[in-house]
Structure 1
Amino acid sequence: MKGGRSLNLLVTGGAGFIGLNFVHYLLENTSYQITVIDSMTYASHPDEMQALTSNPRFRFKKGNIADKNDLNAVMDQQYEAIIHFAAESHVDNSIQNADDFIQTNIVGTYELLQHLKTGAANKMIHVSTDEVYGTLTPAQQPFTELSPLSPNNPYSATKASSDLLVRAYHETFNLPLVTTRCSNNFGPFQNKEKFIPTIIYRALLNQKIPIYGDGQQIRDWLFVEDHCKAIALILEKGTSGEVYNIGGGNERKNVDVVKRILEIMGKSEKLIEFVSDRIGHDRRYAIDSTKLQSELGWKQTASFDQSLVKTVEWHVNNFGASL
């Protein structure tokens, strides 16, 4: 993909976990011009934004996509595409207070769609989550793009709401929109509040590692770099109006992920501490990526265990800066 057309892209939430990895991927593998808008919440990476400004193909604007003035300021040029990562995503926070989730995930998406209506970009890729599908029993088949939306917590409800807005704007106004739904991501730059970084940092500090309930909840894990490659492929070849599931096919029980990370780090399983389960806690997620693989040719590039080792190494090496 190196070389080729020099597309002009707007990346929302590009200072956060997945968005930042995507920006790095594009700068390293394409000749695209990239503008990032990010409100710079606690989960963002200001040092990375500062470092990237030395690249002539990158510019950064601090702003909230739910704020009309902030969004108008970044819509100062025509974009080939908007890649919409910006979202509040931590389920526990949404249970405590969903205000920011409603503003960013729903209102922010609406404001972007309004700009797309005026021709601000030639297309938009709306990055969503498998959590909009709800939960599966151990015996059920993985979610496909045709699975009904059945969110079970405030976070996933706001993401499902934004998905429906995107669908409605495509159907009503024939806007060039694509929705992606990914399984649980892990990798560099993920905030310490998330499951895998929490394990790593607590293990480094020899602190107890809390596991909700019985730890038998199952998640389908996807290395963030493979997610970025999928988004880049969908940007290039995806069909307007379609939904593409992006899943790793790496179903693991939460307790087994904890044990494997402790093994990688040479730490004792005595650090594990079972705590009361979270309300609205989905039991199992699993994503069927057959459509993405068969229609666009996407595939994972590394095994779950290889990617997990790489992730542990990154967080250990960046220990001080990430606390």
Structure 2
Amino acid sequence: MHIVTGGAGFIGSGFVYRLNQMGLDDILIVDNLGSTEKWKNLVNLRYRDYIHKDEFLAKLEKGFFPYVESVIHMGACSSTTEKDADYLMSNNFHYSKRLARFCRESSARFIYASSAATYGDGELGFNDDHATMTDLRPLNMYGYSKQLFDLWVKRKGLLDHVVGLKFFNVFGPNEYHKEDMQSVVRKAYFQIKETGRVRLFKSYHPQFGHGEQKRDFVYLKDCLEVMAWFLEKKDVNGIFNLGYGRARTWNDLAKAVFQAMDLEPEIEYMDMPETLRGKYQYYTCAPMDKLEQAGCPVAFHSLEDGVRDYVQNYLSRNDPYL
């Protein structure tokens, strides 16, 4: 059995789709559907069962699920603006520790979501070398909760037994339920449909013009291919960056959406909320050398190609699901 936590969420449901493509459907989905619309991500998927995340850990540790081959741990609070630190400690840190211990004791493959938010403002770079992990200073509690687990994995000597993926700015199908945490690609598409223009944050850093703040944007489908490779490549372990490997501006992204919609760009710049200004990353870029040296053969979409596929084959067809 393969267990996917956060299996109804953005990356989690995408990976269940990828498992189905690989001919696998002995899958347990763990999530908290609540009153959200993310249940729709499950409709096209094949899986054995679903269980609420609050019931799952106790049953797992009591042996309710024998023969677990892998745990793909995408289930965590992904909101970078979440202020409940105790919730993040419980949901992102302690929950992950219990899963990791189970996988180590049962020899199950453990692949989990870390985050580029662990790198903070980028002053120390974005190197996924294990030796520099302890120096990182995240800018928000979300990033800190991810950093704590990365450091715990290192401290417990698990770096040679698990895979942690530091996702950068992922966009693609199955994200419609994420509200404010949706990618700017999706937000921009609907802004353009409604108003004919895209609104981006102004810059408050002298080295970056308005809309010239840079991010490493990576398409969901490429992330799923990398995850599938790690699932099968059990001798490759550690914490890896997962981005495209090149920083592009928000202006580039907005223009790519206009281009995919066959429209001329019209961009407007708005004030950034005061609460974000001191915690805003002006530049992220994922060095991908480590993944390449590990032998991962995935050929990534460019920003323009990924945006075009997402806009033309999903958003414009009113079908946000893989």
TM-score, normalising length from structure 1?
0.81
| Unaligned segments of structure 2, at least 5 residues | 204-210
| Unaligned segments of structure 1, at least 5 residues | 1-7
Change in Cα spacing, 1:244 to 1:32, as seen in structure 2 (3 Å) is farther
Shift of 1:99: 4.6
Shift of 1:98: 4.1
Shift of 1:239: 3.8
Q: Report the counterpart of residue 116 of structure 1 in structure 2.
A: 103
Q: Report the counterpart of residue 64 of structure 1 in structure 2.
A: 53
Which has the higher mean CA deviation after the structures are superposed, 208-217 or 287-296?
A: 208-217
Which has the higher mean CA deviation after the structures are superposed, 41-50 or 245-254?
A: 41-50
2:114, 2:86 → 1: CA distance? 19
Aligned residues: 303
Q: Which residue among 188, 198, 203 is the counterpart of 2:173?
A: 188
The letter for the 1-side match of 2:270 is F
Q: Report the counterpart of residue 144 of structure 1 in structure 2.
A: 128
Q: What is the 5 A alignment of 1:184-263?
A: 184-191=169-176, 192-193=179-180, 194=182, 195-206=184-195, 209-214=198-203, 215-239=211-235, 242-263=238-259
Which has the higher mean CA deviation after the structures are superposed, 12-21 or 67-76?
A: 67-76
Change in Cα spacing, 1:245 to 1:19, as seen in structure 2 (3 Å) is same
Shift of 1:170: 3.4
Change in Cα spacing, 1:249 to 1:152, as seen in structure 2 (3 Å) is same
Shift of 1:66: 8.5
SS of equivalent residue, structure 1 residue 257: helix
CA contact (8 A) 1:40 1:62 kept: no
2:55, 2:30 → 1: CA distance? 11
1:152-192 Cα offsets, whole Å, 9 max, x none, are: 11111111112122223335xx9832222222111111134
Q: Report the counterpart of residue 85 of structure 1 in structure 2.
A: 74
Change in Cα spacing, 1:67 to 1:30, as seen in structure 2 (3 Å) is closer
2:215, 2:26 → 1: CA distance? 35
Change in Cα spacing, 1:72 to 1:61, as seen in structure 2 (3 Å) is farther
How large is the RMSD of aligned CA atoms in angstroms? 3.0
Shift of 1:97: 3.9
1:180, 1:114 → 2: CA distance? 18
TM-score, normalising length from structure 2?
0.82
Identity %: 21
Shift of 1:22: 0.9
Which has the higher mean CA deviation after the structures are superposed, 286-295 or 242-251?
A: 242-251
Shift of 1:65: 5.5
2:263, 2:271 → 1: CA distance? 20
1:32-80 Cα offsets, whole Å, 9 max, x none, are: 622211112576621232443xx3xx12323125874465589422211
Shift of 1:315: 1.9
Q: Which residue among 30, 35, 45 is the counterpart of 2:28?
A: 35
1:176-220 Cα offsets, whole Å, 9 max, x none, are: 322222221111111343222221222222277442232322111
CA contact (8 A) 1:101 1:155 kept: yes
Q: Report the counterpart of residue 20 of structure 1 in structure 2.
A: 13
CA contact (8 A) 1:182 1:247 kept: yes
SS of equivalent residue, structure 1 residue 205: helix
